[in-house]
Amino acid sequence: MKASTHTEIYRPFRGSLRDHPQRWLTIGTSSVRQGFKRKLPALLLFTPVAIGCVIACFKVYFAFSLLSGDLVNNNSLQAQGMAQMVASVLGDVVENIFLYMQGMSFFSLMIVAWYGAGLIAEDRRLGANLLYFARPISRVDYLLGKGYGAAAFGFLALTLPCLMVCFVAAFTSPEWSFLRDEWTTILKVILYTGFWVATVTMLVLAISSLVGRKTHALIGVIGTIVISSGVSEVMANLFREDSFSLLNLFQNFERVGIWIFDRRQHGPDVSIEQTFAALGVFWGICLLILSLRIRKLEVVA
Amino acid sequence: MSQAVLSIRDLVKCYGKVRALDGVNLDVPAGPVGLLGPNGSGKTTLLKLLLGLLVPTDGEAKVLGYHPTRRSDRLSVRTVVGYMPEGDCILPGMSAIELVSTLARITGLTAEDAMTRAHEVLDYVQLEEARYRPTHEYSTGMKQRLKLAQALAHDPKLLLLDEPTNGLDPKGRRQMLELVEDLGRNQGKNILLCSHLLQDVERTCDHVVVLNQGKVVEQGSVSELTAAKGALLLVEFEGDREAFLHHLQAGGLEATPSSENGLKIHWPGSSADADQVFDLAHQAGVAITQLSQQRSSLEEIFLRAVGVTPATHQDQAPVGETA
């Protein structure tokens, strides 16, 4: 029932439009907000990440506690032996952070895929492109907005927990030694996770732009990863040629991580230059698909 | 004619070998204007060009001072134009208030203004009670009104409405037409109403443009078109029909029999000059018992413009019939 005072008259807008609104930011923010509307997927997807983060934080804390001698100074001989053994396993905090990043990559892929798969596919299915492109947004704005919408979840799934681990390391290290001696680790974490999240986002959006439903895009992303990894493995074994591992996204990123964190390389004998070339081709293909498909979305609107 | 809101010169758009628009010249005055045309006549292509979504093969268009055909203006024009698309379209997972405020922010409103504005326009289109409901639960009529609301979100100077009554039941259609009529006649909005429903255009628009095969085949105010070009004299008489027809033809008038003692005379001017008919009747020795003027309906104008005669049209699919 309507109030008797309700007139439903048209009110002209008295304000003014902003000169340079960050339109892509509005698109991205609304995508993030819509993503978090459904609580159950968020709970299921982020729980392993949260558990992993807590464990990694605890390991770092524990390692520094041992190094600072909190436990080593214990009078008990048995405790001293245990502490030395644990310290030898957990001693290298940076190694822990690196391993944590590698371990969480899969979960972050799943999270970006879940939240990003529908961003373009569902827009097309529901005709949202008709509404977006009737507004003063360019195709780049649209791509940035959707990219931000997907990458934000990747940031929450990978970059933020890794930074949290670094944060714990900084505060628990004796005499701020982590910040003084290993401060570059923080930059390396941002660089590596940012590159990973951006690459996965590109893949997810490219596949999302090719299909008409979120579920199809999700299957497409997982299929692409599984098939490319499988093909890479089979071809490498068949032809005894390490360069086939360049088809495997995870292995490429493992090499990038090893290079960034200056770890000792093991596995296929492929140079970092080749790895970056393979990732460059991957990015090129994704960008080509996205530019063609988003152009089509605009024109169809 | 008042100042043109929309001005198009020699606009051509080709898709491969198909010329969707073939040298369109058009000046659309302020106020509500109907854009009529059969399927494939180029209406949608024209709207896309006006929004800067397509680049023309040749020619120029000017919308409220912006040139949507130029790269520099193609985004700016969308800040002064509100577009209501034809098909179903919603932003996934959003309620009406979120949808309208998000699109208003994208256009350039601040977050606070966008939210206020979203409430105002949803009130206006009578969706105030459903504003927090997910839009995928909306009926067709509600979705149509939501599309109108989002087009109004930034209070544009020109509204491009693409088939706003499509798929609506009679009640929903009436509501939508009332809104469009109010916007055009009372709120002073410039409207380009793209429709194949002649009754909708006749009710809401003062000016009509007919597009066929990519060309403008007719344009003018509804009153001008129906009076000057479509005037018919319905004459009933007593006497020799053949002699009367012969005299009418000799007098340069086109006449067709309408009944046993009736004729339809296609009259180029107004009924004030009907004295000529009386003179010709007198010369033919017939007595006119009744003479009345019938103004052409918009449907006749439309059918004539697209090259379909009303007689043959009766056996075909009704172009102007309500869906």
CA distance B286 to B244: 7
C-beta of residue A118 within 8 angstroms of C-beta of residue A204: no
Pick the residue from chain A with its C-alpha nearest to B53. A299
Of B92, B105, B124, the CB nearest to A122: B92
Q: CA angle, B98 as apex, B93 and B102 as ends, to 5°?
A: 110
Pick the residue from chain A with its C-alpha nearest to B86. A130
Place of tokens 């289109």: B125
Tokens coding A244: 């086939």
Inform me whether the C-beta atom of residue B117 falls under 8 Å from chain A C-beta atoms.
yes
How confident is the model over A125-144, as a mean pLDDT? 93
Inform me whether the C-beta atom of residue B55 falls under 8 Å from chain A C-beta atoms.
no
Residue contact A137–B109, C-beta within 8 A: no
Provide ipTM, 2 decimals: 0.84
One digit per residue, the tens of pLDDT, for chain B of length 323 reads 456 889 999 999 998 888 989 889 988 899 999 998 888 888 888 998 999 888 899 999 999 989 988 878 888 899 999 999 988 888 888 999 999 999 999 999 999 999 999 999 999 999 988 999 999 899 999 999 999 999 999 999 999 999 898 888 888 899 899 999 999 988 889 999 998 888 888 889 989 998 888 888 888 887 777 765 556 778 888 888 888 888 888 888 888 888 878 888 876 655 546 778 888 888 888 888 887 776 666 777 777 777 665 544 444 433 333 33
- What is the distance in angstroms between the Cα of B162 and the nearest Cα belonging to chain A? 12
Q: Which of A155, A174, A160, A183 has the alpha carbon at shortest distance from A57?
A: A160
Q: What is the pLDDT of residues A55-109, one digit of tens each?
A: 989 888 877 776 655 555 555 566 666 555 545 544 577 888 888 888 888 999 9
Residue contact A26–B91, C-beta within 8 A: no
Chain B contact set for A135 (CB, 8 A): 78, 103, 106-107
Contacts of A178 (CB under 8 A, 6+ apart): A64, A93, A166, A169, A170, A172, A185
- What is the distance in angstroms between the Cα of B15 and the nearest Cα belonging to chain A? 12
CA distance B125 to A10: 9
Q: Which of B91, B94, B126 to mutate to test the interface with A (most CBs of A within 10 A)?
A: B91
- What is the distance in angstroms between the Cα of A69 and the nearest Cα belonging to chain B? 54
Tell me the CA end-to-end span of chain B in Å, nearest whole number: 33
- Whether A220 has a pLDDT exceeding 80, the answer reads yes
pLDDT at res. B132: 93
pLDDT at res. B199: 82
Residue contact A126–B91, C-beta within 8 A: yes
| Burial class of A289 by CB neighbour count within 10 A (0 to 12, 13 to 18, 19+) | middle
Q: How many CA atoms lie within 13 A of B304 on its CB side?
A: 12
Which positions in chain A have a beta carbon within 8 angstroms of at least one beta carbon in chain B?
Answer: 2, 6, 8-13, 15, 17-19, 21, 23, 26-27, 30, 33-34, 37, 118, 122-123, 126-138, 298-299, 301
In this prediction the pTM is 0.82
Q: CA angle, A61 as apex, A56 and A66 as ends, to 5°?
A: 125
Q: What is the pLDDT of residues A158-184, one digit of tens each?
A: 999 999 999 988 888 777 777 877 888
Contacts of A154 (CB under 8 A, 6+ apart): A108, A111, A112, A193, A196, A197, A200, A201
Residue contact B93–A18, C-beta within 8 A: no
Q: Rg of chain B's alpha carbons, rounded to an integer? A: 24
pLDDT at res. A159: 94
Q: Which of A2, A6, A10, A133 to mutate to test the interface with B (most CBs of B within 10 A)?
A: A10
pLDDT at res. B251: 82
Chain B contact set for A117 (CB, 8 A): none
- What is the distance in angstroms between the Cα of A13 and the nearest Cα belonging to chain B? 6
